[in-house]
Amino acid sequence: MNRNAGFTILAGLPPDGPPAVPCPKNWGQGAREGFVVRFDPAKEESWVANFSRGLADTDAVLPFGDRFLVVAGGALYLVDAEQPGPKAQIDGCVTDILIVSAPVGFVFGWNNISLGSWTLDGPRWKTRRLSWDGFHALRIERGRILGEGWSAPDGEWVHFEVDLESGEASGGPTALSA
């Protein structure tokens, strides 16, 4: 990454200056406001992006090698600060984010039901369904992701583990294991 590139999350669309770049390209017309971020590339002028939100409450801008991953209401976008607009919009709904140090990347909770690993090379794995609706106490310990998934039939949180390297999962609600 160009170490001088940065970003600022804005409270809303700026009242002056160039219009915000809609992300995705066909969204944001008609003065709709989403998750607004100013990117400050090292070599170009700053630009503002207006990201369409997904169906979750999760918002974040995550440095990702020479790019950024932007989570706007759960919608996931890959952005290069040097080139206005998203390089890609990734299908899915991010509901949780864990930072992984080795290999560098993230584990995302997808749609409150499964987990997926992303490294600088892109997506690595996605688990089977681990919850009926949501995660509790997600954490990384000794190369494993530990947490609890909601079991609707039992009305309780059930422990699961995921191998951080392979994505192989054990535990979780029994009705989902098949």
pLDDT in tens, 34-78: 999 999 998 889 999 999 999 999 999 999 988 999 999 999 999
**What is the fold, at CATH topology level, of the domain defined by 93-178?**
Thrombin, subunit H (2.40.10)
- Cβ atoms of 125 and 117 within 8 Å: the answer is yes
pLDDT at 1 over 50: no
Q: pLDDT, tens digit, for every residue of 88-140? A: 888 779 999 999 988 889 999 999 999 999 998 889 999 999 999 999 999 99
The amino acid sitting at 4 is N
The DSSP letter of residue 16 is S
Tell me how many helices (H) and strands (E) the chain has: 0, 16
Residues of the chain with CATH 2.40.10.480: 93-178
- Cβ atoms of 69 and 87 within 8 Å: the answer is no
